[in-house]
Structure 1
Amino acid sequence: MKIHPKPEKELERLKALKEYAVLDSLPEKEYNSITQLASYICGTPIALVSLIDSQRQWFKSTIGIDVTETSREDSFCQYTIMGDGVFEVSNALENEIFADNPLVTGAPKIRFYAGAPLHDANGFNLGSLCVIDTKPKILTEEQKNALQLLAGQVVLLLDARKKNLDLNKSQREFQNFIDLSKDLVCIANVDGLFYKVNPAFTSVLGYSKEELEGSPFVNFIHPDDLASTYHEVEKLSRGELTISFENRYLCKNGKYVVLSWNTSPDPLTGNLYCIARNMTKEKEAEQSLIDGNRLLDESQSIAKIGSWKFDLVTNDLIWSEGHYRIFELDKMPTDQLYKAYRSRIHKDDLAKLNKVSIDVNKTGKDFKIKYRIVFPDQRVKHILEIGQPFKNENGEVTELKGIIQDITAITMAEQKIIQKSKEIQDIRSALDESAIVSISNQMGLLTYVNDNFCTISKYAKDELIGKDQRSITGHFPEESAKITLRTIVKDTIWKGEMRNLAKDGSYYWEKATIVPFLDEKNNPYQYISISTDITDQKNAEENLNYALLNLEKKNKELDQFAYVVSHDLKAPLRAINNLSEWIVEDMPDMPKEASANFDLLRGRVLRMENLINGVLEYSRIGRVEIEKETIDLELMLRQIIDSIVPDEGFEITVDDNFPIIVTERILLQQVFSNLISNAVKHNNKSLGKIECHYQSVSGFHQFSIKDNGPGIAEAYHKKVFEVFQTIEARDVKESTGIGLSIVKKIIEEKGGTIHIESEQNKGCNFIFTVPK
């Protein structure tokens, strides 16, 4: 057996190959240019960029051959990837490895092969750049060097392709993140105009993208906040990389919201990249706290909020009950509270909290911070803290007041949203890989198609978008189209099969589900179709139906033929039999030897007629449908025994547990009759014994017919079931050799089995099963 080579780290190599996402991709001219150059330099009619997968070699580019892949075990390139240099076979017919290779003995009749491995940056040989000729030859060193250089260029193309895919994926993920963000994200250009805004902008402010983009952002700022906003923006011109500030923005409904901004400039374009969070509710909460500390413990408990006050002069720290509840601490003296409070702050957040405290004392500005607290049992809570400093008449900060909020549930929900967003993207990617997906608007015009749609329809995306699918690929009866349209317009999911027409005139079948998406008035505004290609299935069904019709026709022809043949064969046999009887009657005094010969002749004629009948019965099993009926098996056995077994010389035993079943009576009757008849015919004892047993096994009825006759040697256990096979000579025991073959065919056609348990001179036991 030929052992095919595999690199030492084959699993890692296959993983590296799949990360390039190049297998089964469309042809690209850059790769074709390299194969053309390789073919020219090496003077060969064939050149390939071959990538070695687990079971195949797939060609990214081909010159001189019209195939996309071959099996790996037949490939020459599987040997190329085992080394670092050019692998060359000057004459494949004289090479013991490749002389019997089907690519050598058959098309394309390879005689010469040379391949340079595609060696990536991680040391894996992904495949090869190879050249092939139908005549033996040897490359020069210059040609080999050129082939290796070109292989390096292929790897550079693969690396560039991978980087582009990664970049596109990152850009899509970043755009999705921006679009799904609850924060307001925008770009403002150097002219002070909104250039881009995300959906959160329109959601919070109530304006459409068209109303915002291209408008001066100062038009929306509260007049009292313009000066402070300009002051903050001027910091950027002085070299600050990021500014943070708050102002009020006008909503379309006339109300203002408080936005907290973080803004950074692009050093090349001067555009401002801005992120804002709607702080209206937080500001209202802060103001309510500052105005009178009117928060009640009950409302704090419901809202998971706590309030606090810290006197910088006396170092007294005071918490509300809600604050204690969030930190899960018992009330304690102020000198102990400060230490206990800080011991619960997550160690990574403690430095951040210390910095906020220092900044507040220096600047006297309000602050807001998020941090984590960790409990002895390692549970974690996420805390939002908002505070405001208060100054004395000398402008010194003497007191801090604020609130905390347990935002664990909110934080977890936000993290889950991010995770779910990724899952949705992954699901969409998986769907695009396996299904044909399209989206149509309420007018039936395509607004989106995935790559699979283009592949199966053979249209490019720009040929489909904005077009009515029914007029391009739709090819099903008008009445069916009307029913489908009425179904989805009524907000009902439609499922069914449809035949479509591809661009090249070929037909393909889809099993589709069309789902209507509803607007706020429950009217469909778009339709999403998800389908699978069932063309092969429909073709198989059509072929099967044709085959069944053809089989039915052949069966009828076979029955007619069997009837004619049996009639034509039986007629001369009857004539021979009648003629022999007339001769015997006309010659009563003929010699005993002649009379015996005539008896032998009539016996042979009878055997021939039985043989014809047996062949006909055997051929009809499984082809003729027989109506099933309810059968009392014990009663049927008694009737068979009465008609076959002699009254003297035999002892019959029948179990009393034989069931009543529903089956084809004539078939089961034929099985028992043949087996019991054989037990009688071949018995060589003065008292023949026949036992009929039944046992219920899992999913089957099991029967056995056992006798005390001469038995059957193990060498004949299978042979006796073959057509025309007998153990004894037909001159000794009259037999057609068809009975047991009929029994076996009936049982196996019904889904059962039959076998023999027997030894020479120790009786015979036929055991068979039929499904319940």
Structure 2
Amino acid sequence: MHPIPANETERLSALHDLEVLDTAPDSPYDALCRTACALFHVPMATVTLVEADRQWFKARCGFTAGETAREGSFCTHTILSDEVLVVEDARVDPRFATSPLVTGDPHVRFYAGAPIILSPGIRVGTVCVQSDAPRTFSACERTQLADLATMVAAQLTLRRTEARLRDSEAHYRLLADNTSDMIVRADPETRRLYVSPAARMILGYEPEELIGSRPVDHIHPDDVASFNRALAGLGEGRTDRAVTRQRYRRKDGSWVWVEVTFNPTRDALTGQVTGYVAAVRDVSEREEAARRIRHMARHDALTDLANRTLFRERLTQRLAAIRAGAPGFAVLCLDLDRFKAVNDGLGHQAGDALLCRVAERLKGLVRDGDTVSRLGGDEFTILLAASDRAEDVRHFARRLVAAIREPIDLDGQPVIVGISVGIARAPRDGTEPDALYRNADLALHQAKAGGRNTFRFYEPGMHFTGPEVAQAAR
């Protein structure tokens, strides 16, 4: 029998609430599967949703079947935890050795799956990659696969939000005279001549309060230029329709994201533009969901620090700025000392809490313009943007070591850890992202080999100390 999650009823309810089962192919999910195959060099990838008795593929690459039985499936085991499940050789794994997916087509030998987590404890499916040959799967690859699953979860949530928004809009259209959108009729100078009752809901104004006003009076200053360009095309007769998205100020002073569709009105005899009719729609939920997707793609889910992707972007930008004449900067690779002892002794939950406390301390040490990143596990980086002077960086490194050495309270349990730091300076120690990071990492290994709670600057001729030396220094 396949394992059944304790919260199966709640999980299935959330899955069906998405209203995505048995829907038509969706290009973003198909593209993600193709990307996964290319990224991990495997022939098969799926976005799988796990029902009570089957697993259905929302998207697939290299698979011919659209669904399979849940019994004996890899994905059923994947949704039991928040971790990536890796099966390096299914034929020797007693959980899957007799599975039809292993013994028959497509003859799966290797499997790696990351759960699609809608909310804590609610895992509706997986993003998984498979091969008909056994292989290993590195920690970095596990993180990348988990990132893909996070993006799918965000996309599913966005689709559900949009679906609910559409349902809400349809409901209000039935209740209102015309629509839940705010309908506006304006003259050629954009003065509002008519505003529908939806103004109360979207902007907090009574419709009469907006008569005679102009949209630009309520638009966020950063959005005025693009708005004026769109309206100019309508007024000059160059376009018959315009769609803009901007922030409007509500009566209470807050900002709301709206999408406005403009259609010009014309004189029946001359054809001259006499103004426009606009439909103003609140898209705050959609904008917030899109913002969360963008944020999640570049930030660590546990600590909310920059992730590897954002760190590399910032590093590349800073190196490009140096080539344009900007001052140098420093890259610090950080690794916690004795983290494994805390994680093993107090449990993973305490380990996660410790990482979050460390992240808070790191953020408290840096300035605007610096970047603190978590690359995975207990590995962090800091991009010090202001200076590459040895004395400045040395002073910061000492403060950093001292700050992390202070006891950390984990629910009444004082914990003391340390940190080892490797430092590379640009352009002195490298002008390319990979070279500069590699040199900082080499210096980190030297700091580990030299003892805990210390830092080392990169020097030409440094070499990798070896995993056994670095591990012994933890």
TM, length-normalised to structure 1: 0.25
Greater length-normalized contact order (CA 8 Å, ≥ 6 residues apart): 2
User: Under a length normalisation based on structure 2, what TM-score does the superposition of the two structures give?
Assistant: 0.40
> Considering only CA atoms, is the larger Rg found in Structure 1 or Structure 2?
1
